Amino acid sequence: MNVVLVDAGGTNIGSVRYALQRLGVDAELTADAATIRAADKVVLPGVGAAAPGMARLRELGLVELLRSLSQPVLGVCLGMQLLCAHSEEGDTECLGLIPLPVRRFAEAPGLRVPHMGWNRLSAKQAHPLLAGLGDDEQAYFVHSYAVPASDWTLVTSDYGGAFSAVIARDNYYGMQFHPERSAAVGAKLLRNFLEL
């Protein structure tokens, strides 16, 4: 299986690559359009802010390419947010592949921003990406911005209200948490993505 990691400058690229290696897949890190287009699966990792993330994709000439892909594409953390329409972070136009906004968590007593740590996953729809996901599974999150729950939400988590933990539209998928840091549940979901 030919899996590529889009070299969009995210600091989690190494850990995502190692997580895939543990599943028997050696994903190539690339910003080459032809290599990305030829892949069986594409992973868009990302840690950081929306504006620099989109600037990097524009600089590499990858925006239209990512919008045109027909194979399964997985956005991880910031990568998931970049699949959406617009982020409040830096008032950033994103890829627009999943027509949802990305909003900053509201500050509230007892809710620190960023949201960091393990949090429960709650499946909202049946989907092959979620095969084997139990009722009380948890994943590891680090983020200040989140995607509201919608018809494209497969899994929610709760931090002062429900937000999207996993989203999907057509061949585009997103995981807000870090599957590469989410132990067995993260490995399971990455394996499910590879088997789509």
Catalytic residue numbers read 77, 178, 180
Separation in Å, CA 37 to CA 9, 40, 184: 19, 9, 30
> Could you tell me which residues are beta bridge partners of residue 43?
5, 74
Of 144, 170, 193, give the one whose Cα is nearest residue 20: 193
3-state helix, strand, coil in the chain (%, to 5): 30, 35, 40
Count how many Cα atoms sit within 13 Å of the Cα of residue 111 in the half-sphere of its side chain: 11
For residue 172, which amino acid is it?
A: Y
